[in-house]
Amino acid sequence: MPQNYAYIRVSTKDQNERRQLIALKPYSIKKQNIYIDKQSGKDFDRPQYQKLLKKLKKDDLLYIKSIDRLGRNYSEILEQWRILTKQIGIDIVVIDMPLLDTRRGKDLMGTFLSDIVLQILSFVSENERSNIKQRQAEGIAAAKAKGIRFGRPPKPIPDNFYLVYRQWKKGTLTGSQAAKECGMPLSTFRYRVNCFEKVI
């Protein structure tokens, strides 16, 4: 007997899948038939998705909230759609996009329209991902140009740095000894010396 399944994906372990679970509630899908991955949609090498693929049988029905929950790579979404609908022979319902319901329009025109909508949405999804990356890169470059530094703020220079620096400069301490006196790695000591000598 055909079964109803659902697939949920959030991009990171910190994100909450609750919104997608709420969207699936009206469809009364058994808890054990809901598969959830918490990782990027850049490819389909995801443990729960792979488990779901092994479970699906011909005439089963798969619900997903939106096409980008399935994945974010344009060509791979199309390939997975083909595997699911043509190779395995299941139906798919994309809740946020009623046109992407393979139960409707099983005739040539219905399939044609569904394929066109899928291709457009997959392209838009991947294009938006590229735009986000570009905007992030531009934002970081603009911030760096304004002198904004990223990452953890550097630790304050220890109180004994100047004294140790003078001893190192005189040759009474090696670089390793000086770094140890300041409680920092040798590379950090050299970096601090370099910064210090630029301002004196």
State how far the Cα of 91 lies from the Cα of 63, in Å rounded to an integer.
9
Q: Which of 11, 40, 125, 176 is catalytic?
A: 11
How high is the pLDDT of residue 44? Answer: 87
Which of 117, 85, 76, 125 lies closest to 100, judged by CA?
117
0.85 surpassed by pTM: no
Residue 68: how many other CB atoms lie within 10 Å? 21
Radius of gyration of the chain (CA): 28
- Single out the residue of 1, 27, 18, 21 nearest to residue 93, CA to CA: 27
Which residues of the chain register pLDDT less than 70? 105-114, 121-122, 124-126, 128-129, 131, 149-151, 153-154, 199-200
pLDDT at 31: 94
Q: What is the pLDDT of residue 20?
A: 93
Q: Is 11 a catalytic residue?
A: yes
Whether 56 contacts 84, CB under 8 Å: yes
pLDDT at 33: 97
Q: Are strands 4-10 and 61-64 parallel, antiparallel or unpaired?
A: parallel
Distance of alpha carbon 34 from alpha carbon 17, whole angstroms = 11
142: region left, alpha or beta (phi > 0 left; psi from -120 to 50 alpha): alpha
Q: What is the pLDDT of residues 94-140, one digit of tens each?
A: 998 887 888 876 655 556 666 777 777 667 666 766 767 777 777 77
Angle between helices 175-182 and 161-170 (to 10 degrees): 170
